[in-house]
Amino acid sequence: MEEKMSEENIKEVKMLEAQILHLQAEVAALQCQQQDTHKDMTFHFRGQMQDALSYMCGQRHVEGREKVVSRLKEELEELEDDLKRQTEMNGISLNSCSTKTLQSSGSKMVQQVCVSGHCSELVFQVEFQLSEVKEGERSERTVSDLNVVMDASDLQNFSSFLSGVEESRDLLLFFRTLRTFSDRCDDRCRTFQHFQEKYPSVVSLPGGCRSEVMTLNHPELPGCVLFVHWSVEVSREGGVAPEINLLTKIPEKALQLFPSQAVDGAAEAFHSLLRILGPEAAIESVVRAVSLSQDT
């Protein structure tokens, strides 16, 4: 009985010894593989690090330096060209863009984004939270806490729209409407400048070329002033439309010389010209009438 147990113990010991030898061989193979990998990584990393340090210290050969600089210049030029194309297409130039991670997990990331820039003369700053939730291979992004700040004093017609955008968190609508609104303001500015340069003795712009009012005043008719009020209206839904009106300021003595119907009907007649001729031709007709053919 004892001999049988002794034989079993010997077999078990031998089997354990064989397993130990097998494990030792596996450990040795893994150590060898780790050393080879470490050598490769060290060589690769050391090469990159040495190249970077040599380049920074000016010790790298000229040909390699020129190659790196040339590649960086090409990449920079491509980025500049792409940015230029995007700016020309949407008319919006970005000055800065910053992000701050508020929450990050395996499936969800929340970032605070701040973007500032300008569209023509209109300066803006947009802040919002961007949440991205991943479900398998799909991801969904949502915008929240949208806040828009416009740096301008004459945007009363834009304030209602901005409130609606902040509620709906529709960034695409904001930028699209901003571009259209800016274009219409630029049209007004160019038109006012054109008439001021063409009729300097009659046309004046008290608030500057980007204001809403252009005044018409003939030197030989003191106190008789016509005002072209050109506003750009923006609906809460993002619709943009110009609204142009002709206002009169005529002294009481002058009113006694003209029929009241002719004076009162000036605004209505101007609106008829607008519908038929368009803004520039309608304003041209009024300016020429006020100028008594001067400066033509």
CATH number at residue 111: 3.10.450
Cβ-Cβ contacts under 8 Å for 244 (sequence gap 6 or more): 228, 229, 230, 231, 274, 279, 282, 283
What's the pLDDT score for residue 121? 84
Mean per-residue pLDDT, 79-106: 76
In a domain, 145, yes or no: yes
Do residues 188 and 147 share a domain?
no
Confidence band for 191, pLDDT divided at 50, 70 and 90 = very high
The burial class, CB within 10 Å (0-12 / 13-18 / 19+), for 136 is exposed
In a domain, 204, yes or no: yes
Instruction: Locate 185 and state its tokens.
Output: 């303001």
Do residues 287 and 190 share a domain?
yes
pLDDT, the chain, mean = 77
Q: What is the pLDDT of residues 109-127, one digit of tens each?
A: 888 999 898 888 888 999 9
Do residues 197 and 275 share a domain?
yes
Q: pTM for this one?
A: 0.66
What's the pLDDT score for residue 105? 80
Residue 69 has pLDDT above 60, yes or no: yes
Residue 70 has pLDDT above 80, yes or no: no
Out of 53-62, 64-73, 266-275, the most confident range is 266-275
Residue 222 has pLDDT above 90, yes or no: no
Which has the minimum average pLDDT: 46-60, 83-97, 168-182? 46-60
Confidence band for 267, pLDDT divided at 50, 70 and 90 = confident
More confident call, 158 vs 54: 158
Mean per-residue pLDDT, 44-69: 54
Q: What percent of the chain has pLDDT over 70?
A: 66
**Per-residue three-class SS string for the chain:** CHHHHHHHHHHHHHHHHHHHHHHHHHHHHHHHHHHHHHHHHHHHHHHHHHHHHHHHHCCCCHHHHHHHHHHHHHHHHHHHHHHHHHHHHHCCEEEEEEEEEEEECCCEEEEEEEEEEEECCEEEEEEEEEEEEEECCEEEEEEEEEEEEEECCCCHHHHHHHHHHHHHCCHHHHHHHHHHHHHHHHHHHHHHHHHHHHCCCCEECCCCCCCCEEEECCCCCCCCEEEEEEEEEECCCCCEEEEEEEEEECCHHHHHHCCHHHHHCHHHHHHHHHHHHCHHHHHHHHHHHHHCCCCC
In a domain, 195, yes or no: yes
Q: Are 213 and 221 in contact (CB under 8 A)?
A: no
Mean per-residue pLDDT, 181-186: 91
Q: Are 234 and 164 in contact (CB under 8 A)?
A: no
**Per-residue three-class SS string for 116-169:** EEEECCEEEEEEEEEEEEEECCEEEEEEEEEEEEEECCCCHHHHHHHHHHHHHC
In a domain, 138, yes or no: yes
In a domain, 285, yes or no: yes
Mean per-residue pLDDT, 169-188: 91
Do residues 205 and 281 share a domain?
yes
Q: Domain boundary at 136, 152, 168, which?
A: 152
Do residues 187 and 142 share a domain?
no
Give the count of beta carbons closer than 10 Å to the beta carbon of residue 232: 22
In a domain, 176, yes or no: no
d(CA 179, CA 191): 18
Do residues 204 and 243 share a domain?
yes
Confidence band for 44, pLDDT divided at 50, 70 and 90 = very low
Residue 240 has pLDDT above 90, yes or no: yes
In a domain, 128, yes or no: yes
Q: What is the pLDDT of residues 145-176, one digit of tens each?
A: 999 988 765 577 788 888 899 999 998 899 89
What's the pLDDT score for residue 296? 43
More confident call, 7 vs 234: 234
Query: How many structural domains does the chain have?
Result: 2
What's the pLDDT score for residue 263? 53
Do residues 279 and 210 share a domain?
yes
Residue 17 has pLDDT above 50, yes or no: yes
What's the pLDDT score for residue 205? 93
Range of the domain at 96: 91-152
Beta strands across the sheet bearing 122-135: 93-104, 108-119, 122-135, 138-151
